[in-house]
Chains A and B, each alone.
Chain A
């Protein structure tokens, strides 16, 4: 235990020493480091996708626009720059309904719609997952704990440099009258991949 604490204290001091020296020598600035961290924590992540989904749930006209022309609909929102531009320009949202369930897969992680979904989970890049998701999506979804009724069609979309798909999940019951903020809080990246449903967690 003592050894573990020592390692922690040492590592923290080591990183502070590294950063301080690099800054003193004018090699980097603290702001450059802050900006890199901010990029991952603020500009790009599943919280952006969750806001888009929440807005679509509360605003049927926006939802229609989102499905018809995803990049322009996203551009209407006050999201960090780049969301609807260079990175998001080929984005396409597909809606889950009682009739159809959508699942997205991707071969290249660089093609994952990061600005909206954040960093992909480890299984996403797995070639076995991808091959099986296309061949037997119901079985793969079942392994994720998601059973799709036989009456619902399953569509699998392969994200590529041309089109980056993301799923507009079904709004869960019991969320009537919720604000966009409340709704965004329950949308998970897995739901926007089609690997899970959005559920209202019991508090």
Chain B
């Protein structure tokens, strides 16, 4: 019988009663009634809380369970902050009959020659940088050079794809990046904590991080910050193409559309079914259907709002077998004294 082992019991050096008797009071016989059987020596000094405290500790582990509601509680406690809108955009733009506009971009690859025709870096990127005062290595609309299956290359101007199932929004821990009613994805740089999981999640490589104090011209520092134009940039936060919603609302086309010398980029509203490149007005749905439009990485299910018309810039006089385009330039480091930049 194993109980017998208790008998030798290590002699005096392990005597528990001596030290603990200090605090032991006799007031707790009630509680100790079941303690008396085991340990004759220690029975008298158990305080009311001890046994129970220990049991509570075991059960206390269960208090781990409510931890998941902690953020909720803090949220309720700080609800004053939440009564403010999510750094929200203004009223969404609406069609004349009151429906919310659904901004879209259609890029006609048949007309894009990566600005080889005009010589120099892509104009859409340059216009975007100038207009948004984008920090040095950021090309919010970037012209990639993709290989064609039959040889040669084509140029693919790539803004943020404004996904309707945006992987970046899904993973953001603080809701700093969000979709607007107009179907665009914006970032609140005043809330972003800089964890960069959205950059890992974006399958189009369309997110950019302010690794340091971004080199921007002095006038950018004077601007009132808004999620719709992201000026001035915030150190340690993520930025990207915002689809120029503030300009669209006032009836102006985005910088990249304005800057394209070949009128390859259309901007429009799927709700009203119109799009324009600044020269022609098209019915968006018909334009997409007639020209076999596609979207990038359609198989991922991200549902982009940026459509492409297949083709390549040979149509505008480009030699498909001379690859390479001039690198994008940022004027900021020359303009701003002591500006520090980084490579992409």
- A and B interact: no
Using a CB–CB cutoff of 8 Å, the interface residues on chain A facing chain B are none
